[in-house]
Amino acid sequence: MNSKVLVTALLAVAAAHAELKVLANFPNGSVGQVSAVNPLHLRVGMKGQTDQDGRNRQASWYSFEVSGVPKGAEVIIDLVDLPGEYNYQANRGAITNDTRPYWKEGKKGLWQEALGDYDPEEPKWRLRIRPKKSTFYVAHIPPYTEKNLGLLRKALKPSIELLGKSIGGKPLELWTFDLSGGKADAPVVWMMFRQHAWEAGTSWAGDGFMRNLPPGVVWKILPWNDPDGVETGGVRFNQKGFDLNRNWDAPNDVSKRPEILAQKTAIEAWLKEGKKIDLFLTLHNTETGEYLEGPPESKLGRDLYAVLKDRTSFDPDRDYFSRMKVEGAGRANVIQWLWGTHKVPAMLMELRVAHSKKLGKRPNAEIWSEFGAALAKQIAALLLVAK
């Protein structure tokens, strides 16, 4: 028997005894139904999440561990059950050819794009992974968990206000970095990161943003609005099914939407004290779109758009625009509510997770973090010059 035949024979034996195990029992983990095609080929379903009416299924988050890989074996993972619905329109799902999954070797490996192909027919992603270790991880994009935020909190020591608790009892916090130097007329910026649990890219951006705050500004930061979702691998709805970036005009109800209520109350309390908000900006991730939207005819919006396009990795696929009309009761997002109710210059930015032409690659944790730093710098420069 030559050595190649021997290796193949041993692998066949190993495969017959392989017992791959798929788990998501860790922070931000998420996985749906798992079945085996053969001992080294698994079909891994996306758990997805639906809203309070069982509609708008979105399956754009998965993060799981595969263990028990025999030495030298190639594992095939089919990611299935991808289709969903967005704003009540059926779609093929958020996981497509544009969003090649990430994987890493063992707990300490580096996230990298997985080998494999997208099959638009089923649709599914078929990954071929040959790890050196017996355990590997697969995720939609590199996760950012409570542990990461904890490290940031410890490093930066912001002034923290507890705004309330999530359905799951987790603290909802407002972080303040008063860098005004005592100047009463210093610009005030409110930032919101990770409104939706799956959008880890915005947390990476927030991390870079907060570590690089320019002086002269009062920075009010809402680090995330869905700590339960971040913990349990949620997508965009809280534990009662409410979309964290809709429902801002729905009745205040602490039993259903404590997260939105906590943030709303904090912003309104600030305004009621007669304090200003020069800019409010919430960051989101999409699969392929990248843009900035805000109030109509906003000079600040257009200027911010221009400098970001010019000087940062921001790679918009459309011009600055406005859509402040709310599509039915309970459908207002945070900026529609803030602008509509309080005339706050409120803006929303989407950052894509797919390939960026400008970068020549896909963004990752490091790129998002650098973008966050650049965003803070450009916002401060614009507002300080405007004064």
Helix (H), strand (E) counts: the chain:
8, 19
264 binds Zn ion per the rule CB under 5 A: no
* Residue 273 CB, nearest approach to Zn ion (Å): 29
CA distance 87 to 270: 32
State which residue, 140 or 196, has the beta carbon closest to Zn ion: 196
CA distance 163 to 319: 35
State which residue, 124 or 196, has the beta carbon closest to Zn ion: 196
Read out DSSP for 313-333? S---SS--B-----SSTT---
State which residue, 246 or 284, has the beta carbon closest to Zn ion: 284
The rounded Cα 322 to chain-centroid distance in angstroms is 22
State which residue, 137 or 198, has the beta carbon closest to Zn ion: 198
* Residue 157 CB, nearest approach to Zn ion (Å): 28
* Residue 85 CB, nearest approach to Zn ion (Å): 15
Stretch that binds Zn ion, among 77-85, 107-115, 165-173, 277-285 (CB under 5 A): 277-285
Q: Would you call 4 exposed, middle or buried from its count of C-beta atoms within 10 A (0-12, 13-18, 19+)?
A: exposed
Interface pick for Zn ion out of 260, 284, 301, 378 (rule CB under 5 A): 284
CA distance 350 to 347: 10
Stretch that binds Zn ion, among 129-137, 192-200, 264-272, 338-346 (CB under 5 A): 192-200
State which residue, 57 or 284, has the beta carbon closest to Zn ion: 284
Four-point Cα dihedral 17, 18, 19, 25, nearest 10: 160
194 binds Zn ion per the rule CB under 5 A: no
Stretch that binds Zn ion, among 69-77, 79-87, 280-288, 365-373 (CB under 5 A): 280-288
* Residue 283 CB, nearest approach to Zn ion (Å): 8
* Residue 156 CB, nearest approach to Zn ion (Å): 24
CA distance 173 to 105: 33
Shortest CA distance to 126 belongs to which of 44, 23, 240, 22? 44
State which residue, 188 or 230, has the beta carbon closest to Zn ion: 230
| 3-class DSSP assignment, residue 109 | coil
196 binds Zn ion per the rule CB under 5 A: yes
- Return residues touching Zn ion (CB under 5 A): 196, 284
